[in-house]
Homo-oligomer: A and B are copies of this chain.
Amino acid sequence: MASEAEPQVATADESFEGVSPDAARRLLLGAVEAFAERGFHATTTRDIASRAGMSPAALYIHYKTKEELLFQISKVGHERSVGVLAEAAEGGGGDSERLARAVRLFVRWHAEHHTTARVVQYELAALGEEHYEEIVGLRRRSEEILRGVLESGHASGEFEVTDLRGTTLAVMSLCIDVARWYSPSGRRSPDEIGALYADLVLRMVAPRARRGG
């Protein structure tokens, strides 16, 4: 049995593998868990520290404020998700293939890393002003990547997109909202959800069949 002072960070998230020293990473993982469960403002620094198996004061050796923890999570999380999206969109194949792959992997990331994703997507408002601006820049990039694929497919006639910005936003919405409702105890695996959503998105942009004559 672990004593109360032992680290309790259960769901290790490889997104933060690179963070060192070890104590700083454990604090980050504890914060992800706590922020995802209860939200930034409802989480106490005591809670974070105790999940990392440390005293309340130890947090401040590695992070200046509680907000800085949120910022680090937000930054790494956004970088990871933008990276997934960029890689999928830049990969080979036609525009349908690129779009399907982008949606599938972006959705899968939001399901697999739903704790991190929840913090990333829903705790933005708690960031300080400068940190917020930096994160908004990263968010713009993911939107641009997706819009690029849709635009390319529309130009080539592979897609039919009547409202480019609106459709981009809708597809982003679909993917992001997965973080809100996904649960590992649900019926579907992250990959299955990704495949389903990729199919739905392809149908959203498929050229309409010419009807009648």
Residues of A within 8 A of B (CB): 37-42, 121-122, 125-126, 162-163, 165-167, 169-170, 173-174, 176-178, 180-181, 187-188, 193, 196-197, 199-200, 203-206, 208-209
Max chain B C-beta neighbours (<10 A), residue from A38, A40, A169? A169
At the interface, is chain A mostly helix, strand, loop or mixed? helix
Determine the distance from Cα of A177 to Cα of B167 in the docked complex, in whole angstroms: 14
For A37, list chain B residues within 8 Å (CB).
125
A125 pairs with B170, CB closer than 8 A: no
B173 pairs with A178, CB closer than 8 A: yes
**20 CB < 8 A contacts A-B:** A37-B125, A38-B125, A39-B39, A39-B41, A39-B125, A39-B126, A42-B126, A121-B180, A122-B180, A162-B199, A165-B187, A170-B174, A170-B197, A173-B178, A173-B180, A174-B174, A177-B180, A200-B204, A203-B203, A208-B209
Question: Which residue of chain B lies nearest to A170 when distances are taken between CB atoms in the complex?
Answer: B200
B170 pairs with A196, CB closer than 8 A: yes
* Complex partner residue of A181 from B163, B173, B181, B204, CB under 8 angstroms: B173
